[in-house]
Amino acid sequence: MGGGIAGSLSAIALHKAGITSVVHEAYDRSADHVGAFLTLAVNALDALRALDLDLDGVGFDTPKITLTSGSGRKLGELPYGTAVSEGAKSRTVKRADLYRALRDEAVRRGVRIEYGKRLVEAETTGGRVLARFADGGTATGDLLIGADGLRSRTREIIDPHAPGARYAGLLNTGGYARGVSTGSEPGTMHAIFGKRCFFVYTVDPYGEVWWMAQPARADEPAPGELAAITPEEWRARLIDLFRHDRGPAVDLITATGEIFTGWNTYDLPTVPRWHRDRMIVIGDAAHATSSSIGQGAAMAIEDTVVLAKCLRDGPDVDSAFTTYERARRGRVERVVEQGKRTGEWKALGPLTRGVRDLVMGLAMKRMARTGDDPSGWIYDHHLDWDAPVIGRAVGGRP
């Protein structure tokens, strides 16, 4: 269930494993912040290569990231994720382009996608799963993979007491600016820990500047509140937030024709049950991570490869699901916790920002000197499609 990144790639991975599937998408098309962009780290691209996929025609390489304080002091520069193979680079893409590329590839490989199929209920009967949709239709299969995102209905069906999304204290908006010279080379990601708001930007190969801002807000906005804020209201708010910072934020916001509709940042604490009765959740439905470390899509992509391998090599569905969970739970929950800590650094108040910048600057200097990246375990993760699944040995390296 779900036609986003995890849903489309699940179908592609299952197809490669020799398993036929149908994607049931709730919307006529995806509505998940289609105007926004994301960076796929090297571990995400490695997982895509396991499925014989590359994104050479989508987005652009993003080999490094700089970190700067709101006062303009450079805190450090490092590769945007260590390389799992020589020459690997992270890649920044527009969400809409990524969704389109993955769905087109799924269809090219023979996957059927049905739209307007919002899951209402599902049950296991006679060794098969029966799914019921809001439009009155039904579907049956040997198993159901819930790739239906943060507000997963599949997660609720598997466990009615499952935890829901956790608000992370950050809002999001952004846009694309033209006609502004930032003086930076294309493809470098620039993260600015501003005095009142976090800001990130990069220049595409054609000179367009892609940017995002994450204003901190302690209380969670009510449904519809952010959608009611007009682009011009966002522009005024953001200019006010960045007016005392050094850097291009104000110029970029001013030069942006249409600012994205805002959305909240969430993550998902530990979900006790990932599977039951031939039904399983993956991606954000099982372990959503804050966007602060750019690993939400990567974890979902890795999930699809590992689950398909477990189903390919397992003696039965239940065993495959159990092996999959053992292989994935520790890693993804550690990533979620890392994302939470990083997000908290973006929301610090005036009394603690100076300490943050000092600690971050010292950490960056140490990494530059030693080459020891404490986040390397996230990026240096290889999945080998041909390696058989034996117990927990799903990838080439842990």
For residue range 106-144, what is the model confidence (pLDDT) as tens digits?
A: 999 999 999 999 999 999 998 999 999 999 999 999 999
For residue 291, give every residue at least 6 positions away whose Cβ sits within 8 Å of its Cβ, in sequence order, or none: 38, 172, 265, 339
CA distance 323 to 312: 12
Q: What pLDDT, on a 0 to 100 scale, did the predictor assign at position 377?
A: 82
Residue 73 CB contacts under 8 Å (≥ 6 apart), including other chains = 357, 361
Give percent of the chain with pLDDT exceeding 90: 66
* Dihedrals phi, psi of 116, to nearest 5 degrees: 70, 30
The predicted model gives 323-335 an average pLDDT of: 95
- When pLDDT is averaged across residues 360-377 and rounded to a whole number, the result is 71
Q: How far apart are CA 60 and CA 63, in angstroms?
A: 10
* pLDDT over 60 at 392, yes or no: no
- What pLDDT band is residue 393 in, cutting at 50, 70 and 90? very low
Write out pLDDT tens, residues 161-192. 999 999 999 999 999 999 998 988 899 999 99
* Residue 348 burial (10 A CB sphere; 0-12, 13-18, 19+): middle
The CA distance from 284 to 73, in Å, is 35
Q: What percent of the chain has pLDDT over 70?
A: 89
More confident residue, 247 or 82: 247
* Residue 185 exposed, middle or buried by CB count within 10 Å (0-12, 13-18, 19+): exposed
Query: Domain boundaries in the chain?
Result: 5-59+89-165+267-346+373-379
Q: Strand (E) positions, 289-338? A: none
- What is the Cα–Cα distance from 259 to 175, expressed in whole angstroms? 5
Task: Check residue 347 and give its pLDDT.
Answer: 66
**Do the beta carbons of residue 95 and residue 1 sit within 8 Å?**
no
β-sheet bridge partners, residue 193: 69, 198
Mean pLDDT for all residues in the chain: 88
Rounded to whole angstroms, what are the CA distances from 132 to 7, 78, 263? 18, 49, 30
Q: Which of 285, 398, 281, 296 is nearest to 342 (CA)?
A: 296
Residue 396's pLDDT is 41
pLDDT digits (tens, 9 = 90+) for 192-247: 999 899 999 999 999 999 999 999 999 999 988 999 999 999 999 999 999 999 99
pLDDT greater than 50 at residue 351:
yes
In terms of Cα–Cα distance, which of 79, 8, 47 is closest to 332? 47
- Section 283-309 average pLDDT: 91
Q: What is the CATH number of domain 5-59+89-165+267-346+373-379?
A: 3.50.50.60
For residues 60 and 16, what is the distance between their CA atoms, to the nearest angstrom? 27
Query: 75 falls in which pLDDT band (50, 70, 90)?
Result: confident
Phi, psi at residue 59, to the nearest 5°? 70, -155
DSSP string, 46-115: HHHHHTT---TTSSEEE-EEEEEETTS-EEEEEESS--SSTT--EEEEEHHHHHHHHHHHHHHTT-EEE-
